[in-house]
Amino acid sequence: MLQRLSRREALTVGAGAFAAGVGLAAAPARALNDYADQIKNFTGGKAPVEGRVKLELPELAENGNTVPLSVAVDGPTDEDIHVEEILVVAPANPNARVIRFRFSSASVPEASTRIRLAETQDVIAVAKLSDGNFVQASRQIKVTIGGCGG
Amino acid sequence: MAEIKPRIRLDKKDVKKGDTVDVKTLVSHVMETGLRKDASGKPIPLMIINTFTCELNGKFVFGCDLESAVSANPYFEFKFKPTESGTLKFTWIDDEGTRIEMTETIKVT
């Protein structure tokens, strides 16, 4: 019994330490890169509308070296309007740009890959539609061990 | 560099018109970020696959521009609706200009 109690205590302390660790990781990222400029270049200065883009990432990545990423665009993708491109940027990586998917009229507007993330951050995906509009979504991901070498 | 054999999986090769084909591709490549240093402290130069494309009978289907933030051994999954039978050609190009190519045949009825 005594042993069990002390084990529970140990667990509690452990959980506390873990929470503290997560809190630390979620603290405001240091320097952000030029992701805003990269988005501006991509959209030609047009402001993307929030929504319609579904960006899927795990909530927590223990290893920033291979983080599964899926992105899809919802909505009317009829013959008239299709998704031309999707740009993914990572504001707290050494380089903002992550990947740029290019689609055709035969494409289903979704794609998956695996990416590297340096630290905890909000990854952003911006989609370019063939009618000239842009839509975007962002998603926070916590990264325990960064994946950009150093 | 040794001969690289990419792996490609199509969920079907006999396609009814209007059906969606799901494509998964994997190719081995270090995707060196240019940010790492070797044992002597010298930076290891950037060396990544920068372009991937998939074409059906020479017509563009899907592609992407890769940056150093794409993981080693790049994996992609995408979907498309083929309108004609023919040859799917997959091409990866890296910073040294090495082209890795592979083809698959699909039949649309």
Q: What is the pLDDT of residues B7-40, one digit of tens each?
A: 999 999 999 998 999 999 999 999 999 889 888 9
The confidence band for A77, taking pLDDT boundaries of 50, 70 and 90, is: low
* Count of positions (residues) in chain A: 150
Distance from CA of B6 to the nearest CA of A (A): 15
- Structural element, H or E, at residue B64: strand B59-66
CA distance A31 to A33: 7
Share of chain B above pLDDT 90, in %: 88
pLDDT band at A9; cut points 50, 70, 90: low
In this structure, are residues A93 and A115 in contact, taking their beta carbons and an 8 Å threshold?
Answer: no
- What ipTM goes with this model? 0.93
Position A8 scores a pLDDT of 54
Which whole number is the average pLDDT over B56-77?
A: 96
Query: pTM for the whole thing?
Result: 0.83
- How far apart CA B85 and CA B60 sit, in angstroms, is 14
Q: Do B35 and A149 touch (CB under 8 A)?
A: yes
Minimum mean pLDDT range among A60-64, A75-79, A83-87, B93-97: A75-79
pLDDT-based confidence at residue A149 (cuts at 50, 70, 90) = low
Q: CA–CA separation, A140 vs A29, rounded Å? A: 12
Q: Return mean pLDDT, chain B.
A: 93
**pLDDT score, position A74:** 87
pLDDT in tens, A102-144: 999 899 999 999 999 999 999 999 999 998 999 999 999 999 8
Q: In the 3-class helix/strand/coil scheme, how is chain A assigned residue by residue?
A: CHHHHHHHHHHHHHHHHHHHHHHHHCCCCCCCCCHHHHHHHHHCCCCCEECCEEEECCCEEEECCCEEEEEEECCCCCCCCCEEEEEEECCCCCCCEEEEEEECCCEEEEEEEEECCCCCEEEEEEEEECCCCEEEEEEEEEEEECCCCC
In angstroms, the CA A44 to CA B21 distance is: 33
Cα three-residue angle B31-B37-B42, rounded to 5 degrees = 120
Return the pLDDT at A148.
64
With a cut of 70, say whether residue A31 has pLDDT above it.
Answer: no
Locus of tokens 């009825």: B109
Contact A138, A99 (CB under 8 A): no
Q: Report whether pLDDT(A80) > 80.
A: no
Judged by DSSP in three states, B78 sits in strand
Q: Nearest residue of B to residue A101 by CA position?
A: B64
What would the pLDDT profile of A58-72 be if each residue is shown by its tens digit?
Answer: 999 989 999 999 999
Average pLDDT over residues B49-69: 96
Task: Give pLDDT, residue B55.
Answer: 97
Mean pLDDT of chain A: 82
pLDDT band at B4 (very low <50, low <70, confident <90, very high): confident
Is the CB of residue A98 less than 8 Å from the CB of residue B48?
no
Best of A35, A67, A103, A110 to mutate (most B CBs within 10 Å, chain B): A103
Confidence of residue B70 (pLDDT cuts 50, 70, 90): very high
Interface touch B35/A94, C-beta < 8 Å: yes
Give the percent of chain B with pLDDT over 70: 97
- Using an 8 Å CB-CB cutoff, list chain B residues near A147: 71
**Shortest distance, CA A4 to any CA of chain B (angstroms):** 44
Residue B84 C-alpha, separation from nearest chain A C-alpha, in angstroms:
11
- Give the number of A-B residue pairs with CB atoms closer than 8 Å: 100
Nearest to B62 among A99, A100, A104 (CB): A104
**Which residues from A are below 8 Å from B65, CB to CB?**
99-100, 102
Query: Is B77 in the A-facing interface, judged by CB distances under 8 Å?
Result: yes
Place of tokens 């990586």: A93
Residue A119 near residue A29 (C-beta atoms within 8 A): yes
Quick one: tokens of B11? 């969920």
